[in-house]
Structure 1
Amino acid sequence: MTRTLDEWLAYQERVNVRSIELGLDRVRAVWQRMGAPAPARRVITVGGTNGKGSTVAMLEAMLSAAGSRVGCYTSPHLMHYRERVRIDGADADDSLLIASFERIEAARGDISLTYFEFGTLAALDLFARADLDVAVLEVGLGGRLDAVNIVDADVAIITTVDLDHMDWLGPDRDTIGVEKAGIARAGRPAIVGELDPPAGLVEALGRIGARMARAGADFSVERLAGGWRWHHLDGPTLDLPDPALAAPVQYANAAAAIAALHALRAIDAPLAAMDLQAVASIGLRMAKVAARLQSLGGDPVLIVDVGHNPQAARALADWLDTQPGGRVHAVYGALSDKDVAGVMRALGSRIDHWHLAGLERDTPRGLPANVLAEQLALALPQAHFDAHENVSAALAAARAAAKQGERVLAFGSFFVAAAVLAESR
């Protein structure tokens, strides 16, 4: 029986009741049954707590500017599953995904796969059939035991390491850093994108034998009037335009992406002639990714972001600190495994009024608004808030309360961003 894409996705959720099942043996066995073809001539894997999606988008834009044929795999999606697999700048269509799922199902036999593992194998399968120059793969969870790690990356990027998914990855930054280091390979470049990485990450990369390049040590960022400068210790210095993606943290993401391309040039003859200054400049101007401080316009302006953990909230706070005055009305919803109080404390008094949105109808992991309200009362006792049954109601209330010159900031779970983007079409 031929299934539609939606039917395939529903089937994948039923066939393995575990949404997360870390480990590579099962997914690698299926990939080997499918022939385990290389997904592209070169592979860049991007892991980290935050900044992965933005870094992938910048890499895609820069490599495309260099004339490379690029495939990108990211997760989760916002509006449609097709967003997860991009080939040469376009989302994979339903028919390609369906055909790949059929091949995976035929190959797996009695081996169980999670929803994410089905999707990872589909991306690798479609990339292998697309004659790509470079595949850019975003790690879903952790690194060492994530399904993406069945592929040996030519260059690995670890953007940041912070406290998230602690039930799966460990209780502190050092332990989490060890897990994220697992995407690196001996003798191959590993780009560390944050200035103060945990010792666990650095030590693990050393044990692996990766050729580490660290932000602030091997490459650096200098902000200039009307742009910024990227410099590498081995010589290259680039004067670049500001990223089109908002937020101060995007300079660090851009710097890591450029460092990865610089490393790739040294090991790939066809890419050695890449004009790094030119492709980086074009890519920075062209890179776009939904719901990363995305402005939807209006007055009061509506901003949507997927920041959902304390580190991402600190980045949001830094961005708000650069903005002109005007009250901020937050639309916020979260999942049960997130540090909600940590997110709230990171933003603190920058939020003038919280509109808390229940997500329990969107996903079994969604928190009701009353639970968010309890957390807010503990984290920020003086905060002003209203509780709403869903994102739509919270957004409507925030828009009604906000005056001209103020802003509505909708953030938290991907479910919040998806709902806001759907209503703003």
Structure 2
Amino acid sequence: MTHTSLASWLSYIESQHPSEIELGLDRGNLVLSRLALSRPKHKVITVAGTNGKGSTCAMLTQYLCSQGYTVGTYTSPHFLAFNERIALNNMSCDDAMICRAFEVIEAARKDVPLTYFEFSTLAALWIFDQSKLDYWVLEVGLGGRLDSVNMIDTDVAVVTSISLDHMDWLGDNLDVIAREKTGIARKDKLLVSGVVNPPSTIAITAGEIGANLKQKDIDFSFQRSTTDWSWSGNGVQYDALPIPSLPLQNAATVIAVLVYMGLNPSATDLVTLFKTAQLTGRFQQVAFSPDVYIDVAHNPEAAVELAQRIGSLSRKPVAVCGMLKDKDIAGVMANLAESFSAWYCCDLGGVRGAKALELMDKLEKVSPDISPFLYEFSSVGDAIQGALAQAKEEGRAVIVFGSFVTVSDYLALSQARE
């Protein structure tokens, strides 16, 4: 079948499997075997975790590129364009390259029904193979052990964090979820865990697999002061590192990956990395007067991180919040209810979108006095308009958060206004 545009291809691959998500490696592995792909010159790095995957991949990619290596990076989801998911040397692939990859996957799959994510993953791997790269940096989409990214045997597995999310797919307790995410590791290969208070199943699973596990607070550690931070591990010490805009916990994990891979990063290069590393939608300032920040925080662990970031502002900001109904809305609200002066809650579209009233109900349950500061809107755009007006009048910032969908809607609206 011939498609003349990337949009046409994306519409087609969305229709090729009855389920948006169907965990398992059999379908993908069958098609992968037909592609006969090579591996990168140096290593495949695979990153799993509840939060922090994107920022970890971004920092690893930026560092490797800064050292002159060629790097393919596969991440998800995207904000404005599918191309964001597949990057070569930190630059999104163009439509023509992705369409060519889809043509190859379509021919190779024959009658194998692939999910949207499986199709996308195979396309990314084919592009990386064709590009003859030094490193592949792969972000797990959901879980780890049964995610399509795990079709590729990794050389370095990374687990950033473990918390309750996607429980319908991964299990309803941390031990089970940790086992699923640690399933990306391979025998005799490096596994770096930056997990805070790690479930015992990380070490148990690593032992069963035979992976070379390095854990935070056992093999490496970091300390933060008011103005900077330090890292130590494997006989190496880095002091006076700048506080990054991305989560410090993930920055520490990135250093561990680089050190235990044997890349021996210099202090100067790490300073440059942490001064410059950024990622769309991670407490990212995107406007001024009033200041607007976007953050994809959508589970309790990420909400704690966001609350800490908000604490650095001079005044309580105004929230624009939209969430998906399959997320732990109550847990997010419990961690953020007292962080804002007002809440502009909005409906999100689609079958997974939660209604503003559901968000408001959860807020009122954790903070009964908050009702006068809650506002209901039918769209992200309407909520933003109201929030900006209040923030400008009162000299406050606006934080747009709650979902990739919410942040994507904001970015699309901002792009349309330019």
Report the TM-score when normalising by structure 1.
0.93
The answer to whether the aligner puts 1:386 opposite 2:387 as a matched pair is no
Q: 1:240, 1:277 within 8 Å by CA — same for their partners in 2? A: no
SS of aligned partner of 1:299? coil
Q: 1:59, 1:283 within 8 Å by CA — same for their partners in 2? A: no
Please give the alpha-carbon distance, in whole angstroms, between the structure 1 residues aligned to 2:281 and 2:182: 27
How far the C-alpha of 1:350 sits from its partner, in A, is 1.2
Q: 2:283, 2:309 within 8 Å by CA — same for their partners in 1? A: no
The correspondence for 2:301, drawn from 290, 311, 316, is 311
Q: Which residue number in structure 1 is paired with residue 245 of structure 2?
A: 245
Q: 1:240, 1:280 within 8 Å by CA — same for their partners in 2? A: no
Deviation string, structure 1 residues 359-418 (Cα, Å, up to 9, x no partner): 12xx22111222323333333322221110010001001111123531111101111111
Q: 1:73, 1:85 within 8 Å by CA — same for their partners in 2? A: yes
**Number of residue equivalences:** 411
Please give the alpha-carbon distance, in whole angstroms, between the structure 1 residues aligned to 2:225 and 2:321: 34
Q: 1:63, 1:279 within 8 Å by CA — same for their partners in 2? A: no
- Structure 1 counterpart of 2:308, which letter? D
Please give the alpha-carbon distance, in whole angstroms, between the structure 2 residues aligned to 1:252 and 1:166: 24
How far the C-alpha of 1:83 sits from its partner, in A, is 0.4
How far the C-alpha of 1:320 sits from its partner, in A, is 1.8
SS of aligned partner of 1:409? strand
Q: Which residue number in structure 1 is paired with residue 261 of structure 2?
A: 264
Q: 1:220, 1:231 within 8 Å by CA — same for their partners in 2? A: yes
Give the gaps of 5 or more residues in structure 1. 266-271
Q: 1:144, 1:180 within 8 Å by CA — same for their partners in 2? A: yes
Q: Which residue number in structure 1 is paired with residue 224 of structure 2?
A: 223
- Structure 2 counterpart of 1:381, which letter? P
The answer to whether the aligner puts 1:341 opposite 2:342 as a matched pair is no
- Structure 2 counterpart of 1:245, which letter? S
The answer to whether the aligner puts 1:126 opposite 2:130 as a matched pair is no
Q: Which residue number in structure 2 is paired with residue 330 of structure 1?
A: 319
Q: Which residue number in structure 2 is paired with residue 280 of structure 1?
A: 270
Please give the alpha-carbon distance, in whole angstroms, between the structure 1 residues aligned to 2:204 and 2:157: 16
Q: 2:83, 2:93 within 8 Å by CA — same for their partners in 1? A: yes
Identity across aligned pairs (percent)?
Answer: 41
- Structure 2 counterpart of 1:112, which letter? P
How far the C-alpha of 1:63 sits from its partner, in A, is 0.8
SS of aligned partner of 1:43? strand
Q: Which residue number in structure 2 is paired with residue 269 of structure 1?
A: none
Please give the alpha-carbon distance, in whole angstroms, between the structure 2 residues aligned to 1:90 and 1:154: 23
Please give the alpha-carbon distance, in whole angstroms, between the structure 2 residues aligned to 1:178 and 1:342: 23
- Structure 1 counterpart of 2:286, which letter? L
Q: Which residue number in structure 1 is paired with residue 290 of structure 2?
A: 300
Please give the alpha-carbon distance, in whole angstroms, between the structure 1 residues aligned to 2:209 and 2:95: 39
Query: Which stretch shifts more, 376-385 or 64-73?
Result: 376-385
- Structure 2 counterpart of 1:237, which letter? Q
Please give the alpha-carbon distance, in whole angstroms, between the structure 2 residues aligned to 1:369 and 1:251: 32
- Structure 2 counterpart of 1:127, which letter? F
Runs of 4+ in structure 1 deviating by more than 4 angstroms, as ranges, are none
Please give the alpha-carbon distance, in whole angstroms, between the structure 1 residues aligned to 2:284 and 2:304: 17
The answer to whether the aligner puts 1:150 opposite 2:160 as a matched pair is no
SS of aligned partner of 2:287? coil
Deviation string, structure 1 residues 50-70 (Cα, Å, up to 9, x no partner): 011001110011111111111
- Structure 1 counterpart of 2:382, which letter? A
Q: 2:290, 2:398 within 8 Å by CA — same for their partners in 1? A: yes
Report the TM-score when normalising by structure 2.
0.95
Q: Which residue number in structure 1 is paired with residue 252 of structure 2?
A: 255
- Structure 2 counterpart of 1:390, which letter? S
The answer to whether the aligner puts 1:399 opposite 2:399 as a matched pair is no
Q: 1:230, 1:240 within 8 Å by CA — same for their partners in 2? A: no
Give the gaps of 5 or more residues in structure 2. none
**Structure 1 vs Structure 2 CA RMSD:** 1.5
Query: Which stretch shifts more, 403-412 or 70-79?
Result: 403-412
How far the C-alpha of 1:240 sits from its partner, in A, is 4.8
How far the C-alpha of 1:39 sits from its partner, in A, is 4.8
How far the C-alpha of 1:243 sits from its partner, in A, is 4.3
SS of aligned partner of 1:228? strand
1:316–1:394 distance in 2 versus 1, CA, 3 Å: same
